Chain A
Amino acid sequence: QKEVEQNSGPLSVPEGAIASLNCTYSDRGSQSFFWYRQYSGKSPELIMFIYSNGDKEDGRFTAQLNKASQYVSLLIRDSQPSDSATYLCAVNPISGNTPLVFGKGTRLSVIA
């Protein structure tokens, strides 16, 4: 059973701080990793993806991947109240079109 684990939260951070969201996965053969943001009552939207070990930056977001530790994280710098949402980690177990495996999400609350 392929699993993706996330701390459900809520993770509370003050405005302007760095929010760190973490995700671990069980399938060592996993190839690609995605972070989705989901506002309450809305559908998930893709915010970051990462395929290679190391860091990938996009604006205030940084995705970090460590395949040896089977760990992927999302950092949000200068957190804003508008970042308050649930963040879903998704993992592609093998190459091709097998369904992504989703974690249950971490709820982030940015306090003004």
Chain B
Amino acid sequence: DGGITQSPKYLFRKEGQNVTLSCEQNLNHDAMYWYRQDPGQGLRLIYYSQIVNDFQKGDIAEGYSVSREKKESFPLTVTSAQKNPTAFYLCATRQTGYNSPLHFGNGTRLTVT
């Protein structure tokens, strides 16, 4: 099946620990994105990558890090520097080209206590 796989679906961590969220796609899309969503809030862009080995900060990059070593994969690390990491994290991809829509994975719900 073609699609975007985020894992795990639920993740629990203790405060002070780094945690890595996985995002894998087999849609052959060049661009990949990470968003954060808090209850009752809209989507906020964390990082995005338009090509392998390159990525850009979004609106709320502080406390997060990413890598893009392969076209298919764009993992997100939530570091201990992120003040309020508990949220719903969404990975998305986009085809290169004019007017392409975003396609979303199913999300990872992270709870830090």
Contact = CB atoms under 8 A, between A and B. Distances in A.
Interface string B90-102: 1000101011111
B30 A45 contact: no
B71 to A, nearest CB: 14
A100 B102 contact: yes
B2 interface: no
B24 to A, nearest CB: 15
Nearest to B91: A43
A90 B100 CA distance: 12
A96 to B, nearest CB: 7
A61 to B, nearest CB: 15
Nearest to A105: B42
Interface string A16-48: 000000000000000110100000001111100
Contact of A42 (B31, B48, B100, B106): B106
Nearest to A46: B101
Contacts of A90: 102
B52 to A, nearest CB: 14
A95 interface: yes
A97 interface: yes
Contacts of B94: 97
Given A42-B106, A97-B96, 6 more contacts: A34-B102, A46-B103, A49-B99, A51-B99, A92-B99, A95-B99
Interface of A: 31-32, 34, 42-46, 49, 51, 88, 90, 92, 95-97, 99-100, 102-105
Interface of B: 30-31, 33, 41-43, 45, 48, 50, 58, 90, 94, 96, 98-107
21 contacts: A34-B102, A42-B107, A43-B104, A43-B107, A44-B43, A46-B103, A49-B101, A51-B99, A95-B99, A96-B98, A97-B30, A97-B50, A97-B94, A97-B96, A97-B100, A99-B58, A100-B102, A102-B42, A103-B42, A104-B41, A105-B42
